[in-house]
């Protein structure tokens, strides 16, 4: 068995279902998200040799707890938290559609909403964190990282060498398993 690096987005929340951009806010996971996370934990067959790192935000931690099933260590890590959308945290997506400034903040790397983070800011904390976690990963160990949509969309964009406005289309990445993570994650180093 080789090292596995598993990236998981937290489960769907009540705010997701209501069309709300959570950012640094939080909302409870839907019952089906809790069930899905437990099923994913079973599918991954994690044991004491695995480690789960998670965003400290409750929706990610709750997902991680269900995945771990108490079988492996669970470690919160601040650098895995969701993007701070500043004054847009908690906004309804229907209202954002009418905001002429939102598209710029949503997809431009250096656009920083008032009181929030740019995509570049998120990359500058996230990518070094993932690389450090990977470097500490012994061969034959599984590392699971539970985070947020913006984070994984940035990672997916970097892995595909698509950094020109990477968030202008949804990238489906509820789960990515890198069985040979060294080569793939080396691309992140270019963006640090």
**36-52 tens-digit pLDDT:** 999 888 888 888 788 99
Name the residue with higher pLDDT: 119 or 188. 119
pLDDT for 67 = 93
Assigned CATH class of 4-189 = alpha beta
List, in sequence order, the alpha helices (H) in the chain.
14-17, 31-44, 58-68, 93-96, 102-107, 119-135, 149-159, 181-189
pLDDT for 174 = 46
pLDDT for 173 = 42
Which residues are CB-neighbours of 183 under 8 A, at least 6 positions away?
none
pTM of the complete model beyond 0.85: yes
pLDDT band at 169 (very low <50, low <70, confident <90, very high): very low
Which residues are CB-neighbours of 176 under 8 A, at least 6 positions away?
6, 7, 152, 155, 156
Query: What residue spans define the domains of the chain?
Result: 4-189
pLDDT for 96 = 96
Q: In what order do the strands lie in the sheet with 74-76?
A: 74-76, 51-54, 142-147, 4-9, 175-178
Whether the predicted pLDDT of 155 surpasses 70: yes
pLDDT one-digit tens code per residue, 76-128: 999 999 999 999 999 999 999 999 999 989 888 899 999 999 999 999 999 99
pLDDT for 164 = 56
190 HSE (CA, 13 A, CB side):
13
pLDDT for 192 = 65
Taking the CB of residue 3, how many other CB atoms lie within 10 A of it?
A: 17
């Amino acid at each position: 068995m080789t090292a596995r690096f598993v990236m998981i987005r937290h489960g769907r929340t009540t705010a997701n279902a209501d069309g709300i951009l959570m950012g640094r806010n939080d909302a409870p996971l839907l019952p089906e998200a809790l069930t899905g996370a437990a099923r994913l934990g079973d599918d991954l067959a994690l044991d004491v040799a695995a480690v789960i790192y998670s965003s400290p935000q409750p929706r990610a931690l709750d997902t991680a707890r269900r995945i771990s099933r108490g079988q492996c260590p669970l470690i919160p890590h601040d650098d895995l938290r969701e993007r701070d959308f500043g004054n847009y945290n908690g906004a309804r997506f229907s209202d954002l559609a009418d905001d002429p400034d939102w598209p710029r903040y949503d997809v431009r790397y250096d656009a920083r909403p008032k009181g929030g983070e740019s995509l570049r800011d998120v990359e500058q904390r996230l990518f070094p964190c993932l690389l450090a976690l990977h470097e500490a990963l012994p061969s034959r160990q599984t590392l699971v990282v539970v985070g947020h949509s913006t984070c994984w969309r940035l990672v997916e964009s970097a892995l595909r060498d698509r950094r020109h406005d990477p968030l202008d289309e949804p990238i489906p990445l509820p789960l990515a398993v890198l069985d040979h993570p060294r080569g793939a994650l080396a691309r992140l180093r270019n963006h640090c």
